[in-house]
Amino acid sequence: MKAGFYQYCPVFGKTEENLRRVLSAVRDTDADLLVLPEFFATGYQFVSREEVAGLSEKIPDGQTTQALSALSQKKNLHIVAGLPEKAGEQFYNSAVLTGPDGFIGVYRKTHLFFEEKLFFSPGDTGFQVWDTVIGRIGIMICFDWYFPESMRTLALMGADVVAHPSNLVLPHCPNSMPVLCRENRVYAVTANRIGQETRKEGPPLRFIGQSQITAPDGTILVRALADNEALLTLDIDPAVARNKAVTSLNNLFEDRRPEMYRIISENRILR
């Protein structure tokens, strides 16, 4: 499978312009799986609920999901991409998966970061993994990475590849992905954006770029620069992610002791 990402700097609020630019940039890609950033066509820093309402779209009926579905069908390509979703009275920080037959599914971000909490609802889909012809694809969005339960849940659900649309501003994710991938033996494709936004008083929000593909053994297979637009793809082998052996006597999944982990899924904190 050829997996890849596209990182660039969208112009806030110019959805159609950004979408055209992305579609043009990836039109010759040879990827089988292409991951685009979180909020890839709208920009990130919303400053009012009205703005969110104006830029959010229904999934799958909105123009962005329709455009991605059409591209997937035309290029026989799976795409994972983030966008603000309108669902009834709620808004979600969502990502869609589209494939050769069009729309496949949506994931709504579980762990909201900072002021996303002012406008978006916490995701209600839970983590999901789709069994596609190119492999089992799971999705987490940006800050989800900080919670080890995210990758673990996706891996236990069978993900070979974790698609990770992001708008990272904190510095630690790129160097943490090797640990997360190794402890779960999965691939991760982190698609981050670049540039900055100054949509309110105070210092600009700077995005760290460095989109990255990480292997199940923790190897960083490719990392984009912090400031440059980049479309990168490379061959990965989903079968590698299905071998959870650490030694001839140790297997990452079979050695787990779920009965010892109960507190992790209980709604209490002992402090």
24 binds a second copy (CB under 8 A): no
89 binds a second copy (CB under 8 A): no
Q: Which is nearer to a second copy, 111 or 193 (CB)?
A: 111
Selected from 153, 166, 190, 210, the binder of a second copy by CB under 8 A is 153
196 within 8 A of 233, measured Cβ to Cβ: no
3-state class (DSSP) for residue 85: strand
Q: How far is the CB of 62 from a second copy (least distance, A)?
A: 25
Tokens linked to 225: 């620069």
CA 157/CA 105 separation, integer angstroms: 16
Q: How far is the CB of 8 from a second copy (least distance, A)?
A: 26
Helix, strand, coil % over all residues of the chain, rounded to 5 = 25, 30, 45
Selected from 179, 225, 239, 245, the binder of a second copy by CB under 8 A is 179
Selected from 20, 47, 126, 219, the binder of a second copy by CB under 8 A is 126
β pairing state of 245-247 and 250-251: antiparallel
The kind and range of the H/E element at 102 are strand 102-108
Selected from 58, 133, 147, 237, the binder of a second copy by CB under 8 A is 147
CA 234/CA 224 separation, integer angstroms: 13
Kindly list the residues in this chain that would bind a second copy in the complex (CB under 8 A): 110-115, 117, 122, 126-127, 143, 146-149, 152-153, 156-158, 170, 172, 175-176, 179-180, 182-183, 218, 242, 246-250, 252-267, 269-271
